[in-house]
Structures are given as C-alpha cells and as structure tokens.
C-alpha cells in the first residue's frame, strides 16, 4: 500500500537516486540535501514511527545506516564525521510520516553553512531541490564504496 512519497520511492513510482536496496529497507539521496552526500534510509514497509516497525526491519535500518556512514567516510564525502538524525513525530520536525534516518556528512568548519541550510529547510521543505544528475553522480560514488 502506497501512502506517502517514500512509499512511492520504495515502490519505484517516484524517482530517486538509490544507494542501496536491502530486503526490508532502502537508502537513497535526499532530494533536499543539507550537505553533499545527504542520504535517507527508510524501511520499505510504511510505518510512521520507529516503534511500529518490524524488529528485523528496524535492525536492517540501523545496519544500512551504518554501512552508508562507512561508505560516505571511505568516499571522502564524510571524512570528518556525519550526523545520523531520526525525527520521530511531526512535533519533532518529521515532515514525511514514514520512518527515515538522515545520514548527513559533516566537514570541519561547515557549521554556519549547515545551520543556514537547516533553517532554509524548516521554512520551505519543498524549496530548491538538487539536480537529479548531481544526485545520481553522488549516489554512484557512495555505491562504489558500499
């Protein structure tokens, strides 16, 4: 059952630059990246909240997020570090009601730029999106290190 944009992506009816597809979860490039290499990891089955996911899928979700993290590090996109972020519930800025983990590469000294991007995202979540070709290029680079 497709209930949201992430269900459409998981079902292949909406475009996405896929990094990895597992048995129960999917990793793809965020179309509104806060930083280059910003990946989202979602369970394929729709669930709004983390505690509603099947435990096996929840395990694969975290395993995949850490594999994305390792690939980002190896690719040089997240040489200095990364933020893993899960907003659970609309009061916590969960804009799409389908569980997702943000993996956001960080580099030393990016603080101001990142904060500016965060604010922009809060104000207009459907604002400027990255070009598909650029997302594909970065997804390919991450896949190479997966």
100 is a site residue for Zn ion (CB under 5 A): no
78 is a site residue for Zn ion (CB under 5 A): no
The first and second tokens of residue 49, run together, are 């909240």
Rounded to the nearest whole angstrom, what is the least distance from the CB of residue 142 to Zn ion in the complex? 23
Q: Could you give the angle at which helices 55-75 and 132-144 cross, rounded to 10 degrees?
A: 90
- State residue 104 phi and psi, 5-degree precision: -115, 110
4 is a site residue for Zn ion (CB under 5 A): yes
3 is a site residue for Zn ion (CB under 5 A): yes
Binding range to Zn ion, per CB under 5 A, among 1-9, 82-90, 119-127, 133-141: 1-9
CA distance 41 to 37: 13
Distances (CA, A) of 78 to 58, 116, 126: 24, 19, 25
Q: How many CB atoms are closer than 10 A to CB 9?
A: 23
Q: Which is nearer to Zn ion, 67 or 100 (CB)?
A: 100
Rounded to the nearest whole angstrom, what is the least distance from the CB of residue 33 to Zn ion in the complex? 20
Q: Which is nearer to Zn ion, 42 or 138 (CB)?
A: 42
7 is a site residue for Zn ion (CB under 5 A): yes
Rounded to the nearest whole angstrom, what is the least distance from the CB of residue 47 to Zn ion in the complex? 8
Rounded to the nearest whole angstrom, what is the least distance from the CB of residue 71 to Zn ion in the complex? 24
Q: Which is nearer to Zn ion, 3 or 56 (CB)?
A: 3
Going through the chain in order, the beta strands assigned E by DSSP cover 18-21, 25-29, 39-43, 81-85, 101-106
Distance of CA 50 to the CA centre of its chain: 15
Which residues sit at the interface with Zn ion, rule CB under 5 A?
A: 3-4, 6-7, 46, 98
**Which residues participate in catalysis according to the annotation?**
100
């Amino acid at each position: 059952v497709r209930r949201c944009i992430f269900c459409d992506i998981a079902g292949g009816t909406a475009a996405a630059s896929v990094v990895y597809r597992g048995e129960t979860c999917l990793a793809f490039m965020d179309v509104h990246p806060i930083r280059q290499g910003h990946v989202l990891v979602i369970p394929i089955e729709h669930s709004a909240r983390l505690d509603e996911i099947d435990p096996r899928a929840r395990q694969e979700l975290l395993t995949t997020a850490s594999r994305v993290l390792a690939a980002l590090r190896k690719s040089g996109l997240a040489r200095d570090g990364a933020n893993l972020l899960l907003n659970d519930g609309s009061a916590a800025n969960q804009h799409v009601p389908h569980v997702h983990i943000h993996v956001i590469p960080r580099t030393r000294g990016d603080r101001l730029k990142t904060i500016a991007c965060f604010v922009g995202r809060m104000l207009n979540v459907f604002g400027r999106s990255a070009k598909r070709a650029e997302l594909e290029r970065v997804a390919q680079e991450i896949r190479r290190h997966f």
